[in-house]
Structure 1
């Protein structure tokens, strides 16, 4: 299985990890994930255009956008819906990710903004967490009204 298929599979599985299996089976919220490559081109006049495309060949340093679409297909609002996405090991969170994004640097055991988190180095000292330390991203949607839908995204860079 190539790296893109593994990343897409991890993203789809991550959405279902947002709640226990029994709750997920009863939830009216559907999740669908994808991965897009960021492609920048320059036309003859020097105008730069950036678009998201289906990834083909990717190499270290390439930018990707991981996305999760959600929709409430039920008749009642859904409150405090949590979507948790593990970052595939082949990528790191991009430095331009939203500063208020809720992340984990310890496999999902603790959460906060990147500025609030630290990691323990091999020598036992503590240091501020960096984008390359992020293992998971998480969103908590306060309320998803019946029929509402949206998209959650985070930027990543191939290691």
Structure 2
């Protein structure tokens, strides 16, 4: 196992929420937010606890006519395609020692298109978590679908792959590598925004 501790956080409840615009409270029992930790119990990195939550961004007009954006608990609303979401991974070192080499990997659920990672130093992947880098440095290879001809048959020519610059909606995973040690009792947040497909 590498010296880095990997924490994988999956916002699996989003899929259930999207199926029929159900409220999160209706599906929470079946699809809970989970985190799996890969570290030995004696590793001080096991003392860093992660609390993940998702908030829905809603724009409202006040009585005075001002437009305000509020963060709403998804248990109180129905989440539908087009809704903007804020994902927050709050971490805290509950141990007695500083923690170094702390890494958080967060898959982006297939039902969510990334808008932005709040921490601009985070790395992203567009290939299912195999390779990470800055979004501006990554590319995506696409193979066009086979087109039908006017006579109803398919084109037998081999499809030509094209490469283009990656965009935020291509991101499949986000990785935060904390460069500084996390002191005992220290805490912080790692955040990203997405939109429901």
TM over 0.5: yes
Q: Quick check: 1:22 aligned with 2:59?
A: no
How far does the alpha carbon of each residue in 1:59-94 deviate from its partner, in whole angstroms, 9 at most, with x for none? 111100011110001111101200110011100101
Normalised TM-score (structure 1) = 0.85
Aligned to 2:155: none
Q: CA deviation at 1:25?
A: 7.3
Aligned to 1:146: 184
CA distance in 2, matches of 1:118, 1:110: 11
Q: Quick check: 1:41 aligned with 2:60?
A: yes
Q: Closer, same or farther in 2 for the Cα pair 1:75/1:31, shift >3 Å?
A: same
Note the residue ranges of structure 1 that are not aligned, 5 or more in a row.
none
Q: Closer, same or farther in 2 for the Cα pair 1:103/1:151, shift >3 Å?
A: same
Q: Is the 8 A contact 1:8 1:34 kept in 2?
A: no
How far does the alpha carbon of each residue in 1:92-140 deviate from its partner, in whole angstroms, 9 at most, with x for none? 101x544543110011111111111011111322111111110011111
In our comparison, the structure showing a higher alpha carbon Rg is 2
Note the residue ranges of structure 2 that are not aligned, 5 or more in a row.
1-12, 18-23, 144-159
Number of residue equivalences: 152
Q: Quick check: 1:136 aligned with 2:136?
A: no
Normalised TM-score (structure 2) = 0.69
Q: Closer, same or farther in 2 for the Cα pair 1:82/1:50, shift >3 Å?
A: same
